[in-house]
A = this chain, B = another copy of it.
Amino acid sequence: MSSLSSQSYKGATDWYPEDFRRREYVFKIWRRVCERYGYEGYDAPLLEPLEVYAAKSGQELVSEQTYQFIDRGDRHVAIRPEMTPTVSRMVAARRQELAYPARWYSIAQFMRYERPQRGREREFWQLNVDIFGSDTRHAEAEIIIMGDQIMREFGAHDEMYTIKINNRKLINFMMAQYLELDAIQSQLMIKLFDRKSKISPEVFRDQAIDIFGDRSHEGLQKIAHLLAAKTMADLPESIRDSSAVREVQELFTLLERAGVKNVVFDITLMRGLDYYTGTVFEFFDMHPENRRSLFGGGRYDGLVGLFGAEPLAAVGMAPGLTPMMLFLESHKLMPLVPSTTEVYMIILGDAMRGAQKLADQLRTEGVRVEVDFTGRKLDRQIKTAVKKQIPYMLFVGDEELSHEIYSLKDTQNSTEHKLSFERIVSTIKDRRRRPSQDDELDKLQD
């Protein structure tokens, strides 16, 4: 038999321990910020009926990107490409029993069949944060503030990212009342705005002319007027007076009060998914070599009602792991995340039995100890500890066991001390409290 390939599925990641630790660092900060704002963890099935996405997620996602198949019970299912329909379904199923506003978060993986490229995988991980049961600006502000807090918790500064804000009601008003487009034209124009940063000004202009037809001269002028608006005050007067603009203004006021500074109004921000109904926003990386969307979200008041429940206001966001890691790397914000293991126990001679007992005593004290029980030569045991990036080596032989004094060596700086059991425990626990050890810094901050 020829051997099987050792490659992972195309577009999916094998999370080896050193990569897994970096992933855990990101997840830990996500969880910490969510829980700090009173959001509770939940999780959901990998599979949903395909029709769940057909309803509101958008045509491209369903027909070109879903992993769909017929199961052994003849159900047409998809591996979830996003969480919003699923979490809406879960809330709908307990619409009457839940306490509102319900604040929920999850960290889970998703699959979309896209061309794998930098920052885009077929299997990807996302945080989903949602608040159900509030149709106020407070709910929208809270979600955006949490996005901002996540960025700050990672060490990001104001100049590293921008938060763009728009509103679907404002977009609809602009399309129908100001640009005077019908429903089909509006849809095309929204898609065109959505692609604006990815195409040339000429292509944008040509396609806009196509949409306007014989009103294109006037239409292009109006679009130029819109695109020139850097603040809401610059908007054409007929738009400025709409109730949708007041929603945006209220939101800006709340964000300002909360100290969120790097927020801008962007009339061209559309957000691709069909289900948004009000505020939409996007966190955008300002790194000169990495200018791209980081994550976004918005209000989607119509989804819960699709699952046979009384409609319910909802707003949420979904930061992705890969864009977040690219952001942290390009801004040099990703710390070195050490092994969770604290001590590599190196056994000298025939001391195995006593060494195992010592390891168990250390574990009882909460120390994380890996024992090298291979009986290999000293230098090979030491090499293994170094390769595993474990902070301490502990040398245990018969003599050490009889004197109850052991050599503890710092793997990085090679300093070595002869210590009693109690001193070993306290040395390792002290290290946890050192602020340079990021995973313990967490505990102190919390």
Contact = CB atoms under 8 A, between A and B. Distances in A.
Nearest to A103: B370
A42 interface: yes
A223 B48 CA distance: 49
A47 B13 CA distance: 10
Contact of A15 (B8, B9, B44, B111): B44
Nearest to A342: B38
A16 B20 CA distance: 26
Nearest to A343: B38
A255 to B, nearest CB: 12
13 contacts: A4-B49, A4-B306, A7-B93, A8-B45, A8-B90, A8-B93, A9-B45, A15-B44, A17-B42, A23-B43, A40-B340, A46-B79, A139-B373
A27 to B, nearest CB: 11
Contacts of A79: 46, 79
Interface string A30-60: 0000011111111111111101100100000
B101 A40 contact: no
How many copies of this chain sit in the oligomeric assembly?
2
Nearest to A111: B46
Contacts of A446: 366
Contact of A9 (B49, B101, B368): B49
Nearest to A309: B6
Interface string A50-88: 011001000000000001011111010101000000000
A374 B134 contact: yes
Contacts of A12: 45-47
A344 to B, nearest CB: 7
A75 B344 CA distance: 42
A149 to B, nearest CB: 8
B341 A38 contact: yes
A290 interface: no
A21 B35 CA distance: 13
A16 B90 contact: yes
A42 B285 CA distance: 29
A67 to B, nearest CB: 7
Contacts of A111: 46-47
